[in-house]
Amino acid sequence: MIKIILFLLQGIPESLGFIACGLALARVKLRWGIILAAALVYTLIIYAIRQLPVTFGLHTAVGILLVAVFIAKATRVKPSISFVCAFASCSVLALVEVLGYEMAKKLLHTDINNIISDDLMWRMVSFPQAVLLIIIALLIAKYRKPLEGMWKI
C-alpha cells in the first residue's frame, strides 16, 4: 500500500508536468483542471502497466502514445503534431531526470542503484524533478504563447 501511495505522490506531479509540457509545446492554453484529471488517469494506467510482467520501459512508449492521443482528441492539434509534442515532452522529462539523478548521486555520495533500490529515496529524488517539469511547462507556455480556441472540451 505504501508503494502505491509513494508512486502516486511522485507520479501525479510528474504526469501533470509531462502533459502540461506537451500541451505548452503544442501552444494550447494550460487548463489545470483538465490536465489534473488527465494526469490522474494517466498515472493509474502507467502504474498498472509497471505492475505487469513486461519489459521495463514499455510504460514510456505507452505514456507517449497516451499523451499524444489525449492532445489530439482533447484539442485542435493535429495528431502528427500531438505525437511530436508528446515525444518532445518525454525528452524534456528524460533530460530533467538524468540531470536530477546525477545531482542526487553527487549530493548523496551514492550510486544510482542504491537510490533506485530505496523506494522512499527514489521518490524523494524524483519529486523535485516533477516540480521542475511543471515549471518548465509554465515557462514554455509563457514564451510560446497559447493559441485561442485550441481546446475541444
Q: Per-domain residue ranges for the chain?
A: 2-143
Per-chain mean pLDDT for the chain: 95
Identity of the amino acid at 85: C
Name the band, by pLDDT with cuts 50, 70 and 90, for residue 6.
confident
Mean pLDDT computed over 122-151: 95
Lowest mean pLDDT, pick from 45-54, 114-123, 131-140: 114-123
SS3 string, 42-62, reads HHHHHHHHHHCCCCCCHHHHH
DSSP structural state of residue 144: S
pLDDT in tens, 91-130: 999 999 999 999 999 999 998 888 888 888 888 899 999 9
45-84 burial string, b = 16+ CB within 10 Å, else e? ebeebeeeeeeeeebeebbbebbbebbbebbebeeebbbb
Pick the more confident residue, 107 or 3: 107
Question: Is residue 3 predicted with pLDDT exceeding 90?
Answer: no
- Whether the pLDDT of residue 88 is over 90: the answer is yes
Q: Are 22 and 86 in contact (CB under 8 A)?
A: yes
* Residue written as grid cell 499523451: 67
Which residues are CB-contacts of 100 (< 8 A; sequence separation ≥ 6)? 125, 126, 128, 129, 132
pLDDT-wise least confident of 14-28, 67-81, 97-111, 113-127: 113-127
